[in-house]
Structure formats: structure tokens, C-alpha cells
Amino acid sequence: MPLIINGQSVEDGVVEAEFAQIKSYFEQMGNVSCCERDGEFRGYARDNIIARVLLLQESARRIGALPAAEVDAAMAVLEQSHGGQHAFLAALGAMPDQLDLVRNDVEADLRMQKMIDALCAERNPPDETELRRYYQEHLDAFLTAEQVRASHILKSARRSEDRQKAYDELRTVRQRLIAGADFETLARQHSDKAAEHIDFGFFKRGELPEEVEAVAFSSEVGEVSPIFLSTYGYHVIKVTDRKPPTPRPFDEIQGEVRDRLLADRRTVVTRELVEQLKKTATVEDQTPKADAPVHVH
């Protein structure tokens, strides 16, 4: 059912699109299956839409129309970032004849951002004391990435008739490794990779094939992995060292700390404004008239 926010009607499709986006996010995070949390997600969608409409209404009241050149410049940046106007409209699901509507939305977003910028500017810039306190309170956000070092033995198996042979050979090698044989010696004898590629060196997540990283980061130092398959073939790896995450020095990342603090402050300012606007807002769920026909799909 449509929402009416301070007299402005918001169609079902807008809320449904927000709901779908929220549900998709949680599904990708592995936190939901099927419809078990749909009611909760619809509540989030409703709250998000109400907050956005209230902010857009307030920014229109405070700021009004923007110079055409400013909106044109924002449109140009968006189009360029998408690879052109056609791709930009396609990403929005809009047609060329809807360009004016898209432009109006861009202008509305600009007004809202300007309003939040002005509210944030009213607060004192963070000094070093505040930055250091924020750094200590959010230390987990400023850690180095975990790294592991590993060596591997690879047996390629491009043809199906070679797979069993490669697997059997690697299985025998693995048994010898578990019995105490030297990993590098056997790798030089059996790996299809050159000797200089046996040791991966230290690596972070996102630098090697996903299958290799999944095994390496879940293994203990000195542990010989089970045989596993990637697009390159069969692997056995051994983690030889590990660097746990450690805090990056404040003096090296002071600018990053400042950016994060200001981003958090912006979120707080926005939330406070929404809560203030809600106190005087009129929000209605428009229900169909009693004598309206009910369509079942």
C-alpha cells in the first residue's frame, strides 16, 4: 500500500524496490533464506523510504532550486563514471525520454547533500586529540590485513584422462609429506610449476585464486592441506608462516582516521535530522477503499 509522507504519496513500487535491495544484501551475506525475515526487511525498507523523503523535503525547503550548471556538471560526472549517458540510464533502468526525471532526481540528491554538508560544517573540525581517541575506539578498523605464506605443489589436469593420474600422484606425494618428507624437495620433483613458483610468499585475501586462499587462511602453520581442485588443477599447500592483523601507526594514517570520523559524524548528523523531522511529520499507510475491487494474482 502506498505511503503518504507529509502529503506526498510514495508508490508501492518504490518501497518494494528498497525491500528487494535490502533482502538481496542479506542473502548475499548468508544471513537469510527464503522469506523468513521478509517482515523485518519490509520494515527496514519503509523506514529508509520515510527517512529519504523527509530529507528531500527538508532540503527542498532549505535550499530550493540549484543552478542549472551545477546540476549539469553532476550529470556529466555520473554519465562519465558509467561510460556514457546510455550506460548511465541503463544502470538506472531509465529510458532516454526519462532523462528530465533523472536530472530532477540528481538535483534533489545534490540539495540533500548540500544540506547535510552545511549541518556538518556547523560542528568544529576534529583536532588531533579527538582523532587519536577515535583511532583507539575503532582500532579494529585500522588493522593491517592478515597475511599467510604458503608453498604449493600443483598437478595440472586439463584433459579428463589425466585427472586420475594427477590426483593419484599428488595423493602419494601428500602421504609422504605427512610422514615428514621435505615439502620443497618433493615440490621440485612433482610440481608442474617451476621451482621459483613453489613458494607463494606472503599474500593477503584477494591476491590468489579463491580456492587457494580458502585453504591457506584456514590452515595452521606447518599443516599440509588436503588435495583440492582449482581451475589450474590439483593442489597441495603448506602454510609456512602467518602475519596476524596489527594496528597501523596513527601517524601514518591520520588522514584516513579523519575521513572515517567525518563519515561517521555525517551519519550521526543525518540520523539526528531524520529523528527531528519525524517528530512533526505526518506518515500514513494509504489503504484501499472498502468497496474497491481486490485483484488476486
Per-residue model confidence as pLDDT tens digits over 60-101: 999 989 999 999 999 999 999 999 999 999 999 999 999 999
Mean pLDDT of 23-31: 83
Residue 159 is predicted with a pLDDT of: 65
The pLDDT of residue 33 is 67
**Residue 294 pLDDT > 50:** no
Q: What is the mean pLDDT of residues 281-297?
A: 59
Grid cell at residue 13: 513500487
pLDDT, residue 158, reads 72
Tally Cβ neighbours within 10 Å of residue 109: 16
How many other β-carbons are positioned within 10 Å of the β-carbon of residue 263?
Answer: 9
pLDDT band for 288, please (50, 70, 90 cuts). low
0.85 cut: is pTM over it?
Answer: no
Which residue type, as a one-letter code, is found at position 182?
D
Report the share of the chain in percent with pLDDT over 90.
78
CA distance 178 to 172: 10
pLDDT digit string, tens, across residues 134-163: 999 999 999 999 999 999 999 987 766 678
pLDDT higher than 50, residue 291: no
Residue with more model confidence, 59 or 3: 59
Residue 110 neighbours by CB under 8 Å, 6+ apart: 66, 70, 71, 74
E strand or H helix at 54, and its extent? helix 38-62
pLDDT band at residue 27 using 50, 70 and 90 as cut-offs: confident
Q: Is the pLDDT of residue 9 over 80?
A: yes
Going by C-alpha positions, the residue among 198, 102, 104 that lies closest to residue 151 is 198
The share of the chain scoring above pLDDT 70, in percent, equals 94
Q: What is the mean pLDDT of residues 160-186?
A: 90
Domains along the chain? 3-122 (1.10.4030.10), 147-243 (3.10.50.40)
Task: Quickly list DSSP for 141-202.
Answer: GGBPPPEEEEEEEEE---SHHHHHHHHHHHHHHHHHHHTT--HHHHHHHH-SS-GGGSEEEE
Question: Residue 66's closest CA among 12, 119, 115?
Answer: 115
Please choose, from the candidates 50, 55, 61, 60, the residue with its C-alpha nearest in 3D space to the C-alpha of residue 283.
50
pLDDT at 29: 80
